[in-house]
Amino acid sequence: MPRFIPEQSHLCHVCDTRFTITTTFDPRAADPRPASQPRACPRCGAPLRHTGGKDIGAAKNIVLTHYGLSFYRQHFGSVKDFLLRHCRTARDVDDYLALVERLDFAEWESDQRRSAARRGDALSAEERAEHQIVPKARAEAASGKLLADVRAAADEAKAVLSEERARHLRAAKG
């Protein structure tokens, strides 16, 4: 049986129209992710966009998505897809890019070593793969390659957001 999340007021990131969205989810469904209605602004047709949590976890998700770990690719797609899913504006994209730039890879590796020591053989295959990626990410961050790759995806996401904004603003002006 679907569950309802209380109605929420939403502000369109393109035309600033405020409208109400209703969100439902069915934890037993094949795709249990929440679904919102309407899925677009009633005035300009821009898709719903929500900002995600801008924290160290998001920065790590971007890095692991970049390296193609299966869980992250399945859940987020590409870095560009991650940014489009979690950003409303170019400023939001820049905020995520800044988080990746400030990521402390040495601390991340240290956390992983402590976790592996605590859990021993209990690490999943995905976690073991993640543990192998972080040293590579650290080296590529130091050389500038990682940030250049993430910046290229960020530029693509900004271009999509800019085009989307222009298209929907034209529609709102009718």
Q: Where are the domains of the chain?
A: 3-37, 56-173
Query: Read out DSSP for 35-99?
Result: EEESSB-TTT-PBP------SHHHHHHHHHHHTT-HHHHHHH-SHHHHHHHH-SSHHHHHHHHHH
Contacts of 129 (CB under 8 A, 6+ apart): 69, 70
User: How many C-beta atoms surround the C-beta of residue 158 within 10 A?
Assistant: 21
- Dihedral of the alpha carbons of 9, 12, 16, 21, in degrees to the nearest 10: -20
Residue 146: φ, ψ to 5°: -60, -50
Cα 160 to Cα 144: distance, rounded to the nearest angstrom: 25
What pLDDT score does 33 carry? 74
* Res 123: pLDDT: 78
Question: What pLDDT does 2 receive?
Answer: 66
Name the stretches of the chain with pLDDT < 70.
Answer: 1-2, 4, 174
pLDDT for position 174: 67
The one-letter amino acid code at 25 reads F
Q: What is the pLDDT of residue 141?
A: 96
The pLDDT of residue 102 is: 96
